[in-house]
Amino acid sequence: MDLREPVQIVSQTAPLAALPLIDPARPPIRYRPLKAWRHFRLLVKNKEDTSEVFRIFEALPWKGMPRAARQFLGSERGRATVAAEPSLVDLLDDHAALRRTPRGSLAHAYCDFMESEGLTAQGLVDEFERFMVDRPQFHDQFSFYLDRLRDTHDLLHVLTGYGRDALGEQCVLAFTYSQQPAPAHLLIAYAGAREIAKRTPAAPIFRAVREAQLLGKACPRVAELPVRELLPLPLEQVRAMLNITPPLYYRQCHRAWRDGGIDPYAVLRPQPA
């Protein structure tokens, strides 16, 4: 696979185009805040339990998703994205191809991040599919859009510079709220920041989360961008194109914790029994 060459995959995009935009069997989107709060409390006990994140988003979804999906999939840009990137997972997990891009590229930074964390794009899909195993399945173009919202999560870590520490995850969610305004993003981001503040010395935690929210507002919606075209470009060039500036308050928090002898990556980490 050459990331620098345009790709047309008619055999895979034709079935998608034949599907309804939104399956009429999909239930209406509604909020269940008490359920979301219960699952947030469980998430605090184990921030690595991705199933709790999915449950929170199920209870506090982005009500504007169907409208956004219609606008994107009905646009020339959306149709081109479907043709060039029928599966972000296949694209992002092909590290051999990504490593053939120039050093310093977004692709190299993404591979470095995923490999250092022991992550794969398929791994997140697998967790989501385990969560969905007893839930109804829908066959529509909307599912393609939902997949892109999910599959760009780790790419956001790389673009923004937020790590997988507890504060870094809250910041990525705050960033994502401005792109995909599900109340679940704000619940986890700010309630999570409160939990961090309760357990660590003084640091600009809430400023870090708010800064991330503003950065997400200034950035185009990443899930709708041509990822294949961005991957070969220098990381700093992509950040400049997307108006993503360094996360100053996040870095201040890390410095303050390290100066106090606290590992930022140990904050909210489950303790051994």
| Per-residue model confidence as pLDDT tens digits over 127-141 | 999 988 888 888 889
Q: What is Dmax (Cα atoms) for the chain?
A: 58
Model pLDDT, residue 47: 73
Distance CA 178, CA 240 (A): 18
Residues (pLDDT < 50) of the chain are 4-14, 272-273
Contact assessment for residue 24 and residue 66, using Cβ atoms and an 8 Å cutoff: no
pLDDT score for 68: 95
Q: What is the pLDDT of residue 270?
A: 61
The string over 144-164, giving b where at least 16 C-beta atoms fall within 10 Å of a residue's C-beta and e elsewhere, is bbbbbbbbbbbbbbbbbbbbb
Model pLDDT, residue 161: 98
224 backbone dihedrals φ, ψ, rounded to 5°: -100, 5
**Residue-level pLDDT at 136:** 87
**Are 59 and 184 within 8 A, CB to CB?**
yes
